[in-house]
Structure 1
């Protein structure tokens, strides 16, 4: 290819009707309650009983409540943009497909590649957390599991594979391969169970709250650190932001939703409101039960706090439900991630076999690939080294979605009779700037890792994607 042809190919915009035709084979079987459950299952995942304590101890103190509100505010602005894009373009692949239509092929690929890091690492992170909870649960009965199968690859500790995290992913992958409706039924019941226990924790925990533990509510900033003051609140917000990947998970399944123009905005905004209330309530109760310093390095602060206050039954129930409830996050992430890979294959940017649908109209090959990649990451690599990538990928997606709305309104070939962002263009601009600001508060390691991940994606695009894109076939046909 010549330099001019490469640049022209990078900027090629997908015809939205082509996506509508290709995704028309996916069956619209999901309703509003299914999508809200999927969103809550992802957002209110494994972290709700761990993140508030850890972020309070490391960054914000009792003001972790404000960190969650700041993150929710930024996510909420972006959620409005997601809602309009999902209403106008209900295609599989969410921000990847939207960016392909609005910005062109190269930016679409970059957006999709960034979001793929969200799904892979979030799957690995949650499966790793599930394994830790499971091992702690069986250890309470005096059962000691062999070190060789109990953790990520670390020969010095005699660890070679996290077998139980891998088994959790395989179980979820098999469920998702049966279809999104079957997965949604399981998801709905598990989310109801998980939310019920969260409310139980809030009610029981309130009886042990001591108001003096909230004083000072915003600890003074410690010079030379990221703790305390406004800096601590912002760093805390950037740490918890990865939870809001749930919006992209919902949007990735737009093509399988009934009446997407109404269902998608309601599901996205409903997920945000419910999740934020739960996060704020758990954070307030947790920091009120004990001084925030007590939660430093504690992987299960909520269960620990309940045991310390004598609520052993509730603590054990919380641990069991956390173990079961993590599957809600795994299901939603597996569904969303497989639809993203399907979209890559559909467009030829990865082997087109990944974009094929099976006899039931499901992206089985994409699901298998997602499963294998997540098992590899989750059972082999120490996920704590990569977890910051999730927030980085989420924020990149939110920035592009917000800018995308500005360009969408100028398109005459895309008719949107559904939801539109209020306060246009101020709200989308504010959403993009606030997400960019939060992105810059991520630690240096996270920014370096994301830069490396994007570099790999760009190399793959120029080595394979640009040469095998289905747009090449369309252009060749038009010239013949």
Structure 2
């Protein structure tokens, strides 16, 4: 006797909707490049190396590896879910199918929030390096310091966001072509910087000798390790862009998952090489060029570019970080707009978010909404936080852990009836997602506990509560209110009428 399988296990796409996006526009290389572009290695390194050293000192390398592991394991959860449900809503769609509309809605909300906030962060870093580059080019300290003028900073940031919105609005093909150049340029410059840092490490006054102890967690407190891990996870975040363009990718059930894994592994190798070279050259002290110096912590490459590469070659590092920020700024519109597109299509968001441009085949309204949201967030936070970049990175760690971890557990639950069917299922549908989910959950819980302190992050607080917690957890809680409003206005999604929660049943042969 044979028990018939419930169809959604094998064909959950029966209730997935085509959004009207372009098809077969992205290949394996293109998806990998889009993922690397969204991670933005040059930008991520200059923004997080100082944070990692502040928390872990010389143990930066082990924290980078620790941040890689849950991301790597979670990538397998994304890959397995994408095989059976290639939908641009990714986390939102998959957590809805596994846990139902309410949990799925919150997962989508956290994903949208995180990407909108990082858009503002990316634009902020681009502003810094833009003025530093122009200032060094014309040997003008007054121009180089213009980014510290808050009104000028915000106006320039809004201009960058407007340009990025326009490029993303014009379509995936335009975005992909721009990324090949920007990603290639930044990776080449990072390689040159790494080689030169290794070569000059012995003559640097603050340099230190290489030690395998950098790769051991021994001597790190749990709080310091988790705080550093939060920054490391942020530095790896963005590879899922390769999956959010799954409906626009060739072989949409296979290629996006492979591109995501290639992206994560490439980024790990890049980070370890640059981090070790930088640490050997600059050391971890709190004086001069030491990576523990608070004055250079939020812009490490800005301080090290000229000492390591010399002039005028150091200008290329400024351009690389600017290119990295610009590239990621453009690419990050992809997951933001496509998650909102899916939520609009399935009526979890106002239906206007489901609008597709008839010529460019892009989620036009969602793209514009992401740009406006990022502009408002950056403008407000710039005038309320003394160190807007540091606070947004820490708060993003909370949101990233929340929705990535949720997706990892969704994989286990969705495939629960076939987890032990064969060794591949045990490893890729159960063990790896479990390890990724537990790792992200641990970081989430410890960060929530520690970030309640007003001393956490930059030290900014509101009503005695740390700004990092307010941004990270508070905005997720705000989503609960918006969710209730959406349930009252558009109940179909919450009744499971537009996107079903699937209960898979394994095919079993009984004697």
TM-score range, shorter chain: 0.7 to 0.9
Q: Tell whether the 8 Å contact from 2:354 to 2:363 is kept in structure 1 after alignment.
A: yes
CA distance in structure 2 between the aligned counterparts of 1:343 and 1:300, rounded to whole angstroms: 36
Unaligned residue ranges in structure 1 (runs of 5+)? 1-14, 152-156, 413-418
Q: CA deviation at 1:232?
A: 3.2
1:457 aligned onto 2:462: no
CA contact under 8 A between 1:46 and 1:129: conserved in structure 2? no
In structure 2, C-alpha distance between the alignment counterparts of 1:453 and 1:283, rounded to whole Å:
32
Alpha-carbon distance in structure 2 between the residues aligned to 1:129 and 1:283: 19
CA distance in 2, matches of 1:158, 1:176: 27
Task: Report the number of matched residues.
Answer: 447
Give the aligned partner of residue 375 of structure 2.
Answer: 375
CA contact (8 A) 1:220 1:229 kept: no
Report deviation, 1:24. 5.6
Separation of aligned partners in 2, 1:408 and 1:472: 19
In the TM superposition, what are the counterparts of 1:14-25 in structure 2 within 5 Å? 16-17=12-13, 20-23=16-19
Distance apart, 1:135 and its partner CA: 1.7
CA contact (8 A) 2:26 2:248 kept: yes
Cα gap change, 1:356/1:208 in structure 2, threshold over 3 Å: closer, same or farther?
Answer: same
1:170 to 162, 168, 173: 162
Aligned to 1:7: none
What's the CA shift for 1:64? 0.5
Given candidates 111, 115, 124, the residue that maps to 2:111 is 115
Shift in CA distance, 221/39, structure 1 to aligned 2, threshold 3 Å: closer
- 2:172 aligns with 180
Matches within 5 A, 1:267-278: 267-278=259-270
1:156-167 alignment to 2 at 5 Å? 159=151, 162-167=154-159
Q: Aligned to 1:75, which of 59, 66, 71? A: 71
Alignment-derived partner of residue 101 in structure 1: 97
Distance 1:431 1:466, change over 3 A: farther
RMSD (CA atoms)? 3.1
Deviation of residue 404 (structure 1)?
A: 1.1
Give the 3-state SS of the residue equivalent to 2:170 in structure 1.
coil
- The answer to whether the Cα contact below 8 Å between 2:119 and 2:332 also exists between their aligned partners in 1 is yes
SS of equivalent residue, structure 2 residue 200: coil
SS in 1 for 2:237: helix
Q: Which residue of 2 aligns with 1:366?
A: 366
How many Å separate the matches in 2 of 1:369 and 1:466? 22
* 1:193 aligned onto 2:159: no
Relative to structure 1, the CA distance from residue 237 to residue 474 in structure 2 (aligned partners, 3 Å threshold; closer, same or farther) is closer
1:34 aligns with 2:34: no
- Whether the 8 Å contact between 2:333 and 2:367 is mirrored in structure 1 is yes
Taking structure 2 as the reference length, the TM-score comes to: 0.80
Pair 48,119 (structure 1): closer, same or farther in 2 beyond 3 Å: closer
| Segment drifting more, 279-288 vs 391-400 | 391-400
SS at match of 1:312: coil
Q: Does 1:237 align with 2:233?
A: no
- Aligned-residue offset at 1:170: 0.9
Structure 1 residues 420 and 167, CA, compared in 2 at 3 Å: closer, same or farther? Answer: farther
Query: Which of 401, 423, 433 is 1:395 aligned to?
Result: 401
Distance 1:386 1:465, change over 3 A: farther
Q: 2:435 matched to 1:430?
A: yes
Return the offset for 1:396.
Answer: 1.1
Contact 1:119–1:333, Cα closer than 8 Å, also in 2: yes
Q: Give the drift of 1:207.
A: 0.1
**Displacement of 1:254 after TM fit?**
1.5
Deviation at 1:193, TM superposition (A): 0.9
CA distance in 2, matches of 1:303, 1:161: 17
Do the aligned residues in 2 keep the contact of 1:56 with 1:62 (CA within 8 Å)?
no
Confirm or deny: 8 A CA contact 1:61 1:228 kept in the other structure.
no
1:208 is aligned to 2:208: no
1:11 corresponding residue in structure 2: none
* Partner Cα separation in structure 1 for residue 104 and residue 134 of structure 2: 45
Out of 242, 250, 264, the residue aligned to residue 256 of structure 2 is 264
Q: Which runs of 5+ in 2 are unaligned?
A: 1-10, 383-387, 419-423, 452-465, 499-511
Return the alpha-carbon distance in structure 1 between the equivalents of residues 72 and 306 of structure 2.
35
Q: Give the distance between the partners of 1:25 and 1:132, measured in 2 at CA.
A: 35
| Residues 240 and 56 (structure 1), Cα distance of their counterparts in 2 relative to 1, 3 Å cut | closer
Counterpart in the other structure of 1:415? none
Bigger mean CA offset, 304-313 vs 293-302: 304-313
Quick one: structure 1 residues 50 and 466, their matched pair in 2 at CA, closer, same or farther if it must change by over 3 Å?
Answer: same
Q: Cα offset for 1:130?
A: 0.4
SS in structure 1 at match of 2:187: helix
TM-score (norm 1): 0.85
> Would the aligned equivalents of 2:77 and 2:429 in 1 still touch at CA under 8 Å?
no
CA shift, 1:40, in A, is 0.6
Structure 1 stretch 27-36 or stretch 69-78: which is displaced more? 27-36
- Per-residue deviation, residues 385-430 of structure 1 (Å, max 9, x unmatched): 4332211111112211111111221479xxxxxx967354232222
